[in-house]
């Protein structure tokens, strides 16, 4: 099977009849990197799979209804002719049942430890491709964990370098190339070095995809970013849900939302924002909710909000982040409970969620209250 758009409906139709199902799954935020990496890697593995009773399928790690929150993904699918109905979303497959029937194998992409709600498939992880800090949950399995800008870079590198044996059976098609290319562009701001994320590998893989598949790098990136920034159809709750991850850190349940709209712009859009944030914190039964804001006006900026019912914990987090060089300054927001929510400008603009997570993990592992 040489075409992604033949493979997707076929795999969705046929997987349940197989005796062993290899699920390629991205992280729960389901950004373009997670989506593209799982789809293209599953397609590649299935194309070189010779065992008829087994199948490799991508699983998108969000409810099918939540795809609409990701305008850039909807756009990317429209450009590649992918019909969302042909994808398998997490609510459309019973992984727990497959695990119980011993029919499940899992390949993690764009994360290297199952989220705490998916721990039931921990024992079935057979392979990892990721660019986050290695949480060292697995040894003795095939692992590619490298600090590239994008997991799609590592997937692309593996496929393009698969060698003659695989190469004869599998040629990356245009749609797959567009998926990987889009992920690398978004994650590295189109190979900008200012983003602090671009590596030589990202550059190499994207350059190859761009020239081989005639991708208009400037135009395509511009269109993706335009869709990603268009938040007009989203409520505050939608924005908090759109790119959300949860971790158990030490003894605390923490949530991390990433938002691409300035605090000022967001407050203009929704004057009840502090209330909506508090609601979201309660809805997810969290100990702490972090909201990481990133946007550009004259330059790239970050803001950080944290929320907890425990105000002394908020103080401790603040002091710890300052100690680590965060350079936090209080933002001017009125009409909210300072004991429960803190709004800051974040001077250290290199602190993405990916970088902040290990810092906070250290904090919570030594904070035993
Ligand atoms: Mn990623």
Cα of 33 vs centre of ligand 1, distance in Å, is 5
Cα of 150 vs centre of ligand 1, distance in Å, is 5
Cα of 355 vs centre of ligand 1, distance in Å, is 12
Lay out the sheet containing 252-259: strands in order across.
Answer: 244-249, 252-259, 288-296, 300-307, 341-346, 328-330
Lay out the sheet containing 125-130: strands in order across.
Answer: 54-59, 20-25, 104-109, 125-130, 142-145
| Two tokens, residue 176 | 């797959």
Q: Do 158 and 142 contact (CB within 8 A), yes or no?
A: no
Tell me how far apart the alpha carbons of residues 367 and 369 are, in angstroms, rounded to a whole number.
Answer: 6
Give the pLDDT confidence score for residue 2 in this predicted structure: 79
DSSP letter (8 states) at residue 35: H
DSSP H helices in 48-173: 71-80, 95-100, 151-160, 163-169
Cα of 154 vs centre of ligand 1, distance in Å, is 11
| Two tokens, residue 7 | 């493979």
User: For the chain, how far is it from start to end, CA to CA, in angstroms?
Assistant: 55
Cα of 351 vs centre of ligand 1, distance in Å, is 15
The pairing of beta strand 252-259 with beta strand 244-249: antiparallel
Q: Do 172 and 4 contact (CB within 8 A), yes or no?
A: no
Tell me how far apart the alpha carbons of residues 222 and 41 are, in angstroms, rounded to a whole number.
Answer: 26
Cα of 311 vs centre of ligand 1, distance in Å, is 32
Helix (H, G, I), strand (E, B) or coil at 259: strand
Give the pLDDT confidence score for residue 168 in this predicted structure: 54
Burial annotation 247-276 (CB, 10 A radius, 16+ → b, else e): bebbebebbbbbbbbbbeebbeebeebbeb
Q: Do 272 and 246 contact (CB within 8 A), yes or no?
A: no
Give domain 236-366's CATH superfamily. Answer: DHHA2 domain (3.10.310.20)
Give pTM, 2 decimals.
0.91
- According to CATH, the topology of domain 4-228 is inorganic pyrophosphatase (n-terminal core) (3.90.1640)
CA-nearest of 7, 87, 88, 90 to 49 is 7
Give the pLDDT confidence score for residue 369 in this predicted structure: 60
**What pLDDT tens digit does each residue of the chain (369 aa) get?**
679 999 999 999 999 999 999 999 999 999 999 999 999 999 999 999 999 999 999 999 999 999 999 999 999 999 999 999 999 999 999 999 999 999 999 999 999 999 999 999 999 999 999 999 999 999 999 999 999 999 999 999 999 887 545 545 577 899 999 999 999 999 999 999 877 889 999 999 999 999 999 999 999 999 999 999 899 889 999 999 999 999 999 999 999 999 999 999 999 999 999 999 999 999 999 999 999 999 988 899 999 999 999 999 999 999 999 999 999 999 988 877 888 999 999 999 999 999 999 999 999 999 866
Where are the domains positioned within the chain? 4-228, 236-366
Give the pLDDT confidence score for residue 339 in this predicted structure: 87
Give the pLDDT confidence score for residue 169 in this predicted structure: 57
Bridge partners of residue 303, in order along the sequence: 293, 345
Query: Where in 131-197 does DSSP place strands (E)?
Result: 142-145
From the CB of residue 54, how many other CB atoms can be counted at a distance below 10 Å? 16
Q: Do 260 and 295 contact (CB within 8 A), yes or no?
A: yes
Cα of 109 vs centre of ligand 1, distance in Å, is 8
From the CB of residue 343, how many other CB atoms can be counted at a distance below 10 Å? 24
| Two tokens, residue 162 | 């698969």
Give the pLDDT confidence score for residue 164 in this predicted structure: 47
Give the pLDDT confidence score for residue 336 in this predicted structure: 79
Bridge partners of residue 329, in order along the sequence: 345
Tally helices (H) and strands (E) across the chain.
14, 11
Tell me how far apart the alpha carbons of residues 154 and 204 are, in angstroms, rounded to a whole number.
Answer: 11
Cα of 349 vs centre of ligand 1, distance in Å, is 18
Cα of 276 vs centre of ligand 1, distance in Å, is 27
Helix (H) or strand (E) holding 104: strand 104-109
Tell me how far apart the alpha carbons of residues 90 and 112 are, in angstroms, rounded to a whole number.
Answer: 18
Give the pLDDT confidence score for residue 254 in this predicted structure: 97
Dihedral angle of Cα 276, 280, 282, 284, to the nearest 10 degrees: 170
For residue 11, the number of C-alpha atoms closer than 13 Å in the C-beta half-sphere is 31
DSSP H helices in 248-293: 263-269, 273-283
Q: Do 221 and 211 contact (CB within 8 A), yes or no?
A: no
Give the pLDDT confidence score for residue 199 in this predicted structure: 96
Cα of 81 vs centre of ligand 1, distance in Å, is 23
Please provide the size of the chain in residues. Answer: 369
Tell me how far apart the alpha carbons of residues 160 and 214 are, in angstroms, rounded to a whole number.
Answer: 16
Cα of 79 vs centre of ligand 1, distance in Å, is 21
């Amino acid at each position: 099977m040489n075409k992604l758009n033949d493979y997707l409906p076929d795999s969705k139709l046929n997987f349940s009849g197989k005796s062993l199902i290899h699920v390629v799954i991205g992280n729960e935020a389901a950004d373009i990197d997670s989506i593209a990496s799982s789809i293209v890697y599953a397609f590649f593995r299935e194309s070189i799979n010779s065992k008829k009773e087994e199948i490799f399928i991508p699983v998108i790690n969000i409810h099918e209804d939540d795809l609409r929150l990701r305008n850039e993904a909807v756009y990317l699918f429209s450009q590649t002719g992918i019909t969302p109905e042909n994808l398998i979303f997490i609510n459309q497959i019973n992984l727990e049942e497959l695990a119980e029937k011993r029919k499940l194998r899992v390949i993690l992409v764009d994360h290297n430890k199952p989220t705490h709600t998916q721990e039931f498939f921990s024992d079935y992880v057979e392979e990892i491709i990721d660019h986050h800090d290695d949480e060292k949950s697995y040894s003795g399995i095939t692992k590619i964990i490298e600090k590239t800008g994008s997991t799609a870079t590592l997937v692309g590198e593996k496929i393009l370098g698969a060698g003659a044996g695989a190469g004869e059976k599998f040629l990356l098609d245009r749609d797959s190339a567009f998926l990987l290319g889009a992920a690398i562009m978004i994650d590295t701001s189109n190979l900008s070095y200012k983003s602090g994320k671009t590596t030589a590998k990202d550059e190499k893989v994207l350059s190859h995809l761009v020239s081989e598949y005639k991708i208009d790098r400037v135009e395509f990136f511009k269109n993706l970013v335009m869709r990603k920034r268009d938040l007009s159809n989203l409520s505050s709750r939608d924005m908090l849900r759109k790119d959300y991850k949860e971790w158990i850190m030490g003894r605390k349940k923490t949530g991390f939302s990433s938002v691409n709209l300035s605090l000022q712009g967001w407050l203009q859009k929704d004057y009840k924002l502090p209330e909506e944030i508090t609601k979201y914190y309660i809805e997810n039964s969290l100990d702490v909710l972090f909201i990481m804001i990133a946007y550009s006006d004259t330059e790239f900026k970050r803001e950080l909000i944290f929320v907890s019912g425990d105000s002394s914990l908020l103080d401790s987090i603040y002091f710890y982040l300052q100690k680590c060089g965060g350079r936090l300054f209080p933002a001017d927001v009125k009409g909210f409970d300072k004991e429960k929510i803190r709004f800051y400008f974040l001077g250290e603009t290199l602190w993405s969620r990916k970088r902040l997570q290990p810092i906070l993990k250290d904090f919570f592992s030594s904070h035993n209250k």
